[in-house]
């Protein structure tokens, strides 16, 4: 007869059979058997992160780099609820996580027992599926169910659109007894899935409609690097078949690509707004950042909008969706490229606007003083090759869109839900599983919000955090907010008196300060290279001056 903890004893071995080798563990008592199952398996690499919210984002950063699931383990009660922000981000960012939460036995739920809440299905809106395991695997049928459910959860995390799964595991006392032996090898349940295919008649219809659309605009949302897609889009844009918008988070780079839709749209004169209206918009990947592009296409609607994705359908960002096409983007563009039909006039018009925006951009940088814009320009200009660049939400990710993408940099950001709450932890998790230098561009509020991300006994040495401190919440000075914001400015901007230098010292993190271009240059010289420890560069600017410079920048782009 199996042991009550036989299923738990087998978890790490089943994970290994599915290629999962990393676990992020938060301390606790109810999860002691789970901790023992992973920590005692020499083939697993385990990380200890006390704060469950930080641990969730740390695991997200790891899984994003590894392109495979990472295990999360926590104890019962509110510890579980702290995973919610990271799981919501992982769900919308399509990052696979396997979440194991220890729980009290079901008979003790709502019985005033300590550290007990209703845990099952707590993440129902942010995971692909929730699983409730039996409290004991003494019975062979319960062990079978435990094994089958675990295999199903792991498989589901990677099939179709990847994402997190939640496995809730009630555990009875005693909690610290030795785990039962495991009969190796474990037999896993694998899943094989194929690519979506489109029949010949449908391709012919698509090709006909493609040729009929003379002005074609391709918009690439956030995604991982895709060399095949990049190659075919490069060829099509150079052949004047399409105009391609590709923000840096798309990780697509081409000679004729337009990297900054915001800069492009601001440079487009009023009399040319109608001229640029596309007949066909084709979208792929996740969301885009440019609010100007979204606003423009909602007003100047294309005749057709096609969305290309194997899994996610009915993404109608511009309120003009007419066709979902379930196929890999590289397959789609390879097929429609056979239809040819260039539009040199439309392509050259876009390139002329792009070139003019670049000229005006560079002119303005020479005119502006030391503000967020020029500080970020200096940082981005000095970035070394072959790095991971993490862009925190709020202003850093927006400023980064004003500069050209580089093929030797991989761009990342938590744009699934676009929150500021786990940016440090995500970048730290990414750095933990790669030898590349990982650089995080972050604002002061986002840095302070996730400062527990530095509470890590093994904080990666290949992590450089560049903090733009403009007095807190400067995003609300640069976006359209209206006069009413003055009544609530102390609440939306959240100015603070915290000392970032002292905070870094308390965590044992190296610290450098910069308050002008000269000191910033010195700090970058010291930090943008392999270091003996994680380092923070603290840039101090004027919030009001930076906001005014940002607004004037867009006016200058459209100046005659």
- Find out whether the peptide bond into 380 is cis, omega within 30 degrees of 0: no
Distances in Å between the Cα of 551 and the Cα atoms of 145, 240, 387, 427, 478 are 60, 33, 30, 30, 7
Q: Please, what is the Cα angle at 65 between 62 and 68, to 5 degrees?
A: 80
Query: What is the mean pLDDT of the segment spanning 437-460?
Result: 94
Q: Which two tokens stand for residue 198?
A: 């489109």
Position 558 confidence tier, pLDDT thresholds 50, 70, 90: confident
pTM: 0.94
Q: Is the model's pLDDT at 1 over the cut of 90?
A: no
Q: What confidence tens digit (pLDDT) does each residue in 89-147 have? A: 999 999 999 999 999 998 888 888 888 889 999 999 999 999 999 999 999 999 999 99
Query: What is the mean pLDDT of the segment spanning 233-254?
Result: 97
Rg (alpha carbons) of the chain, rounded to whole number = 25
**DSSP for 105-136?**
-GGGTTTT-TT----TTTTTTTSS-EEE--S-
Q: Is the model's pLDDT at 560 over the cut of 60?
A: no
Q: Tell how many helices (H) and how many strands (E) occur in the chain.
A: 22, 17
Q: How many Cα atoms within 13 Å fall on the side-chain side of residue 536? A: 29
Position 482 confidence tier, pLDDT thresholds 50, 70, 90: low
Alpha helices in 344-402 (DSSP H): 344-367, 372-381, 395-400
Q: What confidence tens digit (pLDDT) does each residue in 20-55 have? A: 999 999 999 999 999 999 999 999 999 999 999 999
Q: Is the model's pLDDT at 306 over the cut of 60?
A: yes
pLDDT, residue 195, reads: 81
Structural domains in the chain, sorted by start: 6-170 (3.40.50.970), 200-353 (3.40.50.1220), 368-557 (3.40.50.970)
Instruction: Compute the distance between CA of residue 46 and CA of residue 56 in angstroms, rounded to an integer.
Output: 14
Q: Which two tokens stand for residue 539?
A: 């840039």
Query: What is the mean pLDDT of the segment spanning 521-530?
Result: 89
Instruction: Compute the distance between CA of residue 371 and CA of residue 544 in angstroms, rounded to an integer.
Output: 9
pLDDT, residue 196, reads: 82
Q: Which two tokens stand for residue 130?
A: 């929730």
Query: What is the mean pLDDT of the segment spanning 380-407?
Result: 96
How much is the mean pLDDT over the chain?
Answer: 93
Q: Is the model's pLDDT at 328 over the cut of 60?
A: yes
pLDDT, residue 498, reads: 86
């Amino acid at each position: 007869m199996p042991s009550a903890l036989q299923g738990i004893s087998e978890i790490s071995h089943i994970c290994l059979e599915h290629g999962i080798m990393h676990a992020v563990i938060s301390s606790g008592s109810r999860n002691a058997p789970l901790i023992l199952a992973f920590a005692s398996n020499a083939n697993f690499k385990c990380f200890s992160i006390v704060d469950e919210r930080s641990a969730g984002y740390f695991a997200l950063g790891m899984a994003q780099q590894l392109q495979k699931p990472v295990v999360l383990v926590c104890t019962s009660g509110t510890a579980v609820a702290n995973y919610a922000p990271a799981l919501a981000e992982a769900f919308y960012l399509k990052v696979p996580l396997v979440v194991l939460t220890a729980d009290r036995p079901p008979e003790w739920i709502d019985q005033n027992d300590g550290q007990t809440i209703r845990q099952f299905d707590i993440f129902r809106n942010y995971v692909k599926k929730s699983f409730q395991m039996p409290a004991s695997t003494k019975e062979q049928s319960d062990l079978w169910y435990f094994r089958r459910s675990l295999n199903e959860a792991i498989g589901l995390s990677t099939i179709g659109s990847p994402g997190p799964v939640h496995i809730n595991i009630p555990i009875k006392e005693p909690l610290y007894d030795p785990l039962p032996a495991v009969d190796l090898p474990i037999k896993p349940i694998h899943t094989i899935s194929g690519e979506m295919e489109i029949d010949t008649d449908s391709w012919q219809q698509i090709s006909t409609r493609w040729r009929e659309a003379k002005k074609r605009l391709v918009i690439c949302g956030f995604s991982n690097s895709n060399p095949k897609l990049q190659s075919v889009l490069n060829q099509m844009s150079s052949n004047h078949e399409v105009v391609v918008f590709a923000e840096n988070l798309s990780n697509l780079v081409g000679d004729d690509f337009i990297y900054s839709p915001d800069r492009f749209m601001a440079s487009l004169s009023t009399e040319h707004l109608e001229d640029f209206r596309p007949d066909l918009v084709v979208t792929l990947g996740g969301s885009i950042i440019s609010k100007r592009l979204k606003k423009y296409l909602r007003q100047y609607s294309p005749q057709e909008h096609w969305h290309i994705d194997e899994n996610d359908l009915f993404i109608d960002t511009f309120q003009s969706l007419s066709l979902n096409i379930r196929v890999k983007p590289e397959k789609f563009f390879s097929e429609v490229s056979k239809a040819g039909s260039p539009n040199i006039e439309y392509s050259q018009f876009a390139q002329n606007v792009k070139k003019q925006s670049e000229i005006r951009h560079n002119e303005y940088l020479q005119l502006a003083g030391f503000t967020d814009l020029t500080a970020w320009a200096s940082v981005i200009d000095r970035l070394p090759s072959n790095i991971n660049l993490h862009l925190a939400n709020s202003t850093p990710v927006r400023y980064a869109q004003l500069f050209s993408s580089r093929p030797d940099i991989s761009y990342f950001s938590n744009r699934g839900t676009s929150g500021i709450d786990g940016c440090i932890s995500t970048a730290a998790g990414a750095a933990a599983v790669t030898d590349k230098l990982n650089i995080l561009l972050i604002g002061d509020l986002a840095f302070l919000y996730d400062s527990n991300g530095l509470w890590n006994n093994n904080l990666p040495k290949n992590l450089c955090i560049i903090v733009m401190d403009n007095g807190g919440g400067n995003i609300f000075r640069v976006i359209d907010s209206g006069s009413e914001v003055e009544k609530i400015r102390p609440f939306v901007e959240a100015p603070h008196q915290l000392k970032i230098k002292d905070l870094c010292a308390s965590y044992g993190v190296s610290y450098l300060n910069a308050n002008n271009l000269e000191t910033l240059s010195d700090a970058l010289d010291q930090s943008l290279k392999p270091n003996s420890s994680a380092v923070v560069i603290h840039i101090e600017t004027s919030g009001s001056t930076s906001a005014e410079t940002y607004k004037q920048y867009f006016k200058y782009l459209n100046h005659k």
